Chains A and B, each alone.
Chain A
Amino acid sequence: MNDADLRGQLESLHSESFGWALACCRRDRDDAEEVLQMAYLAVLDGRAQYHGRSAFRTWLFGVIRLTALSLRHRRWLRRVLLIRNAHRVDASAEHEALDAGLIQRDRAARLQRALEQLSERQRSLLQLVFYHGLTVDDAAETLGISVGSARTHYARGKAKLAVLLDSERRA
């Protein structure tokens, strides 16, 4: 795949990739943008190479996930080494979609709050399946875990999320 092809693929999946990057960065828009840029750069300069073993999207999501992980590790290491407390303002609230309807926004906000109470693996699996429409098998490949483990986390996460959303609705 040449540079132009890669660029085309990245562009066609850009919106999806951003959604996944947001999920990998705990809904932090700035981090998601940075991760996406780093991941694109890795793809375009050949540090991450697609060998066609899975769908391009599955592979790209894997690259984005690993990029987000490495960014998170680097930040953690920097905090530990410099003993510096980064008091970051959570900008995600400022970036709420202003155009979306009130009900939609409320739904999205409730889902976000509920997702935060799940384990990272459950959250990622549900995001990949429900948000991006991946199969559980593809989601397992993206996350680098076995299909069996993915199915377990998926089922438990789904059940827990339903309970959390239900209790939010009743509250």
Chain B
Amino acid sequence: MSDIGEDELRRHFVAMRDADLAQVPAFAALARRLDIPRVPRARARWVLAGGVGAMAAAAMLAVLAHQRQEDAWLRAAAEISRWQAPSDALLDDSHGALLGGSAVLGASVLDSIIPTSHVE
């Protein structure tokens, strides 16, 4: 057994405590490092939930915008297919004038228009 009792032990710890107290860093210095702006936990949860919601909404909007763009493309394609050139009327051959008969040498397309009875 040792001769050291509880009081002696306590004195040792007091000595250690005094030595430690001499090197305690200032609370203010530690606190300054902690003074970064913090968001309370409950608020942080709401901010997180809001962020997730905003991201979901943005994704939905992106899908809708994409669909709208596709519709616009389809409409444009349909309009292009309906479009008719103004010179299409020149191709109208309902009287069969262009395919009427075999071509005659020296004849003109104007021959059918200009009456020949007066020419003698």
Contact = CB atoms under 8 A, between A and B. Distances in A.
Contact of A107 (B11, B20, B24): B11
Interface stretch (B25-33, B56-64, B67-75, B103-111): B25-33
Given A104-B19, A166-B4, A158 B9 contact: yes
Given A105-B15, A110-B12, A162 B23 contact: no
Interface stretch (A9-17, A53-61, A70-78): A9-17
Given A97-B20, A100-B19, A165-B2, A37 B34 contact: yes
Contacts of A22: 20
Contact of A46 (B6, B11, B27, B40): B40
Given A14-B24, A36-B30, A162-B2, A44 B38 contact: yes
Contacts of A158: 6, 9
B21 A7 contact: no
B118 interface: no
B17 interface: yes
Contacts of A167: 2
Given A15-B24, A104-B15, A165 B31 contact: no
Interface string A29-55: 100010011001100111100000000
B18 interface: yes
Contacts of A46: 40-41
Contacts of A166: 2-4
B16 A111 contact: yes
A45 B40 CA distance: 6
A104 B10 contact: no
B22 A100 contact: yes
Interface string A128-171: 00110000000000000000000000000010011101110100
A95 interface: yes
B15 A33 contact: no
A112 B4 contact: no
14 contacts: A19-B24, A37-B30, A40-B34, A45-B41, A97-B18, A107-B12, A107-B15, A111-B15, A112-B16, A126-B9, A127-B13, A161-B9, A165-B4, A169-B4
Closest 9 CB pairs of A and B: A166-B2, A97-B19, A97-B22, A107-B15, A130-B13, A46-B41, A111-B12, A162-B4, A108-B16
